[in-house]
Each structure stands twice: as structure tokens, then as C-alpha cells.
Amino acid sequence: MIVSRNDVASAFGVTLQTITNWQKSGFPVQTQKGRANRYNLPECIEWFASRRAAKSEAGGTYEEAKLRLTEAQAEKTELQARKLAEGAIPHDVVVATWSRAFAAIKTEVLALPTRIRALVPDMTAQTWEMVDGTCRRTLDDCAGRVGDGSGVEEPGPTT
């Protein structure tokens, strides 16, 4: 069965860099001019198995020892990368959390005009509408900044 580089890396549970390193050590690859490398999976499995069997034998040359060390270092790096990835927060969790936070903030900001009216009993309808409009524009501005990726900016002078 002929497979892609991604497929062979997935089959062995290693990174693409490990496949590249293995190729330098004789990992079977079918190069095609102008196209991505392809791999005969049964040949790759046979190469891997024979290499593991050779490793189990005592002794070996300096090159073999160096290769074993390189592979051990690569495996260690892959394990460290996996551990780091396990600590990452999934994108959908971050989006859901921020969405809930923004919804709560929006609710509180939209309640401000009514709270201010309760504190200032002689507030006119025109003043209430001005405060309400300011709150709504502020929320729209914040949503626009998040949507366009410009981030948070310092507030400008108030007039």
C-alpha cells in the first residue's frame, strides 16, 4: 500500500521530522520528480522491525550507537511536545468561555442606564437616552475591535 508522508508518520505515531531523520538512515521512500515523496507502508514496517531487532542485539558500531542516541532524543522531544499539547486549552473552550464572559459584560453594561436613573431620580429622558446610547455604542465598538482583530485600545478623551 502506497501512502503519503503524513500517513506513514501517523501509522508509526511519530512526527514528520522523525520520518525525515529515518530517511537519512535508510527508511524506504519512493521519490517522484516534482511530487511529494510516497512510501510503501509494508516496506516501511519491515525496515522499522528489522531496525528494532538490530537494536536489541548487544554491541554495534559507533554509528549505530549514535543513531540510537539520536532516535532516543527525538522520541524524548516528541513526548515533551505531546505533554505541552496536552496542557493547551482547546480553541472551542476558549471561544465558549470568552463568549459567556462577553455576554455577562454586555448584560451589565446595558443595565447601567437603568441603575444610573435609580441613583439620579431627576434624570431626564434625553439624558437617559444619551447614557443608553453611549453604552450601546461602546459595546458595538468593543465587538468591532474583537471582530477585526485590532484588539483593545486606550480610550480617547471624553467630551
Contact yes or no for 74/18 (Cβ under 8 A) = yes
Q: DSSP per residue over 100-148, as a string?
A: HHHHHHHHHHHHHHHHHHHH-TT--HHHHHHHHHHHHHHHHHHHHHHHH
**Where do we find the cell 512510501?**
39
Contact yes or no for 102/110 (Cβ under 8 A) = no
Give residue 154's identity as a one-letter amino acid code: E
Predicted confidence at residue 104, as pLDDT, reads 92
What is the residue extent of each domain of the chain?
2-87, 91-148
Q: Per-residue pLDDT for the chain (159 aa), expressed as one digit of tens each?
A: 788 889 888 888 888 999 989 999 899 998 777 778 899 888 888 888 887 766 666 556 777 777 878 888 888 888 778 777 777 777 888 889 988 998 999 999 999 999 998 999 899 999 999 999 999 999 988 888 766 555 544 455 554
> Could you say which architecture CATH assigns to the domain 2-87?
Orthogonal Bundle (1.10)
Tell me if the pTM is above 0.85. no
Give the H or E element holding residue 35.
Answer: strand 35-40
Predicted confidence at residue 80, as pLDDT, reads 76
Predicted confidence at residue 155, as pLDDT, reads 52
Question: What CA dihedral angle connects 152, 155, 156 and 158, to 10 degrees?
Answer: 150
Predicted confidence at residue 125, as pLDDT, reads 92
Instruction: Give the whole-angstrom CA distance, residue 151 versus residue 30.
Output: 48
